[in-house]
Structure 1
Amino acid sequence: MDQLTITQLKQSAGDSPISASVDVQLQSCVTKTTKSGKPYLELVLADSIDQFTLKIWENLPQFKSAQKLPAESFLRLAGDWTQNQYGLDAQRWDFRPLNASETADLLTGDPETSAKQRQDWQTITQLCQDISDPRLHALCQLFTERYGLRFQRTAAARKNHHARRGGLVEHVAQMMRSAMALTTVYTDLNTDLLITGILFHDCGKMWENTYPETGFAQPFDLQGEMLGHIPLGIDLASRLWSEMIGDSPKVWNDLFPLSSDVRIHLLHLIASHHGTYEFGSPTLPRTPEAIVLHHIDNIDAKYEMFKQAYNVAPELAPGIHQKQFPLPANLVTPLAHYPKDAETPRSAAPTMVTATATEQVVETSKAKPVPKKSPKPKTPLAEPPPQPKLKEEPVKTAPKKGKEPEDAPELEDEFQAQPFTGDLF
């Protein structure tokens, strides 16, 4: 029997049952009733990446034992799995508690995701280490040392994108890589400021979307609910800045640009990163670094939404997948890459075409002249029968003012009918 993660199980299960086991943590167990009044259990189960809901009906042997499970239990579910429009379902299945070693492995996450997040954290700390501005460098070091562990178990969102334990690390690292690529093209951007702004832009989510050290449930925090991550991020950056300045402000004040300017530009990046008032920013982006950060943030979030949607969206037709919220429309399978090592067939190579104002020359290999066709003899059309002459009446004209020039052309000559002697087609 294969051992799968929740995401792998969702990707593999379909109409036909598959045998697999999955390690999870119980998030909640609620007793509900059907329309006919029969009770059933609704379990919400999660791992480090994903979650799903499982219903246990009253007539199943697991009903009574599942009712007794304590909250946040670590379990292994094994059985035959199917999936329909309502989600995953289990047949001939059972569960048992995880031992200490299995629990530790589950909290660490699947090996692929764990390795990626470790690499992403190294990317973040290295780029912060490379910051030249001593104030921003010291601020980033203070942040990563004090809040690094909490930051690494925080999600970038509760749903929609990077909504998993460690998702904020993946999001921030990818944004930093994108920023470094853009600064090679837009060389006037302040790289130190942009990297620091990316590190801090979502730091308030450590009170909105963080996970406990031993679980996959995101608890709700009073500060996160009352203030939101943008005000919390501004407050945290301001407090760390004041702590960094400490008792020797003169040392920092002698630097250029002014420390007060550096601070306000950083706070502006945090405040404006949602881009518009409608999406929660208290101010609009007013610097190149601010608008770049906003768009990098949006691109990475949307790209992640597409990746997740392709994994779960039902196929409506070949290459067309059902719309997944919050994306705006049905999805279409991306175009495959042309193989880099493929050779272009000679017969498919385009011909060289050059043109001037008066001619177009097409270069081909050994083009043979095309023989001219002799023109078809032109057959004149039959002359129309004579029409009866109408009685001519004198036409009254207005009196002329002045004398016409003697050389004025007779306009009626231009409109005399000429016999048609050409081909119709």
Structure 2
Amino acid sequence: MAKKLFDYQLDEPVDGFFLLKDSEVRIAKNGKKFLAINFQDTSGEISGKFWDASDQDVEHFQAGRVVHLKGKRENYQGNPQIKIQQMRLTHPGEPQEVTQFVEHAPLNTSTMEDEVNQFVFAITEPNWNRIVRHLLTEFHADFFNYPAAKKNHHAFAGGLAYHTLSILKLAKSVADQYPHVNRPLLYAGAILHDMGKTIEMSGPVSTTYTLAGNLVGHIVLIDEKIVEACQQLKIDEQSESVLILRHMILAHHGLLEYGSPVRPHIMEAEILHDLDELDASIQMMQTSLGHAEPGTYTERIFAMDGRNFYRPTHDLTKGDLPTDDAQN
């Protein structure tokens, strides 16, 4: 059985087929071109640099293509890296289907659809329920297929729905513990909060940001869709119920400098922000810890202030954290 990226140990020779998730042309200090690459398979992604890249190399080694790679597993500034020795495009008869190299959510689509629908049934406020159903129908295929991010948390196929479902389950626990929390509002906000990423990003393979994603962003994009839904459903978009729902989405990044046009001013909006942060942080730590051996530190996690995390030896084994097999 072929090794996956994270099966290779430090200083071990690498020899296998991998997807070019990202391939960006840069200029080295000597003035020559090189490619900053992220290699990907179902175990995750590792970066590498292809030095002295010719125009033909730039043309051949574009994101979204499968390559045969020979190199060595190294570390650079605390993060795993591949030293590229040889790289070529695949030949006929060799692996070429990009989807076999894409990481997937631990739950299959039908399971996530069923579980999300159970939460939709619990949205008892009529306007919120109609808006959520309308937008879930409009973005259904992409919502259950897209990643939640290009790089950081839940950056795998189905990650958007999986992240949303995780927040919904956390929201249920919070609402069970605190009866004064508006459960239907929290559920509706959770389902819609990141749905704009289906417009912001290109899809689950070699994910990039669309023009609308770069210039407008997912928060404003889905807020616009909520307003459009109200117009199509003949719901007063200036009613308090709609304005409160829009506030849930607009405020969910918490701070203006993190992309929210307004800070949370409703209890449920603050809760949604906190649950969003919690789930994203746990997923990033969990993924990194799954790549670390007991008694060692993870790679540095950029989205968590560049910190790395220690994996204790006394109570953790590989079986306690997600493995590649859990994806299949």
Pick aligned residue for 2:74 from 83, 93, 97: 83
Report the TM-score when normalising by structure 2.
0.77
Q: Which runs of 5 or more structure 1 residues have no equivalent in the other structure?
A: 339-425
In percent, how many aligned pairs have the same letter? 23
Local SS of the residue matching 2:239: helix
Q: Which protein has the larger Cα radius of gyration, Structure 1 or Structure 2?
A: 1
Cα deviation, residue 240, structure 1: 1.0
**Cα displacement (A) at 1:159:** 2.8
The residue aligned with 1:331 is 309
What per-residue deviation string (whole Å, max 9, x for no partner) do you get for residues 69-92 of structure 1? 274563252556422327113557
CA 1:290–1:33 in structure 2 vs 1: closer, same or farther (change >3 Å)?
closer
For 1:127, the equivalent position in structure 2 comes to 119
Q: Within 1, Cα distance between the matches of 2:301 and 2:44? A: 16
State the secondary structure of the residue aligned to 1:13.
coil
Task: Tell whether the 8 Å contact from 2:128 to 2:245 is kept in structure 1 after alignment.
Answer: no
Does structure 2 retain, via aligned residues, the 8 Å contact 1:34–1:40? Answer: no
Say which structure is richer in helix.
2
2:146 is aligned to: 154
Q: 1:321 to 1:188 in 2, by over 3 A?
A: same
CA deviations on 1:211-253 (whole Å, 9 max, x unpaired) are 17xx4231x32322222222222111111122122xxx6xxx9
Q: Return the alpha-carbon distance in structure 2 between the equivalents of residues 206 and 305 of structure 1.
A: 21
Query: Pick from 252, 258, 275: which aligns with 1:296?
Result: 275
Match of 2:190 among 192, 198, 213: 198
Matches within 5 A, 1:106-185: 106=100, 109-110=102-103, 113-114=104-105, 116-118=107-109, 119-185=111-177
How far apart, CA to CA, are the structure 2 residues paired with 1:100 and 1:146? Answer: 38
What is the match of residue 97 of structure 2?
A: 103
Do the aligned partners of 2:19 and 2:98 also contact (CA within 8 Å) in 1?
no
Deviations 1:273-325 (A, max 9, x none): 1223333322222222112111101111111222233355799xx45556432
Contact 1:320 1:330 in 2 (8 A): yes
CA distance in 1, matches of 2:149, 2:99: 24
Q: How many correspondences in the alignment?
A: 311
Q: Whose relative contact order is higher, 1 or 2, with alpha carbons under 8 Å and at least 6 apart?
A: 2
Q: CA deviation at 1:16?
A: 2.8
2:23 maps to 28
2:256 to 277, 281, 284: 277
Q: Secondary structure at the match of 1:326?
A: helix
Tell me if the contact between 1:183 and 1:191 (Cα under 8 Å) persists in the aligned partners: yes
- Rounded Cα–Cα distance in structure 2 between residues aligned with 1:32 and 1:276: 35
1:140 and 1:98 map into 2 onto residues whose CA distance is 46
Alpha-carbon distance between aligned partners in 1 of 2:265 and 2:238, rounded to the nearest angstrom: 19
Q: Please, what is the CA RMSD of the aligned residues?
A: 3.8
The one-letter code matched in structure 2 to 1:333 is: R
2:229 to 237, 240, 243: 240
Alignment check: 8 A CA contact 2:167 2:190 kept: yes
Structure 1 residues 211, 330: CA separation in 2 closer, same or farther (over 3 Å shift)? closer
**2:244 aligned partner:** 265
Tell me, yes or no, if structure 1 residue 207 matches structure 2 residue 199: yes
Q: Provide Cα deviations, 1:135-177, integer angstroms capped at 9, x if missing partner.
A: 3222222112111122233332333322334322221111011
| Distance in 2 between residues matched to 1:126 and 1:104, nearest whole Å | 33
Q: Deviations over 1:109-133 (max 9, x none)?
A: 45xx355252334322332234333
Contact 1:48-1:106 within 8 A present in 2 as well: yes
Provide the secondary structure at the position in 1 that maps to 2:231. helix
Q: TM-score, normalised by structure 1?
A: 0.61
2:310 & 2:37 partners in 1: Cα distance?
Answer: 33
Are residues 168 and 34 of structure 1, via their aligned partners in 2, closer, same or farther at CA, if it must alter by over 3 Å? same
Q: Which residue of 2 aligns with 1:14?
A: 10
Structure 1 pair 304–43 and aligned structure 2 pair: CA distance change class (3 A): closer
Give the whole-Å Cα distance in 2 for the aligned partners of 1:34 and 1:278.
33
Select which of 302, 306, 310 maps to 2:285: 306
Secondary structure in 1 matching 2:303: coil
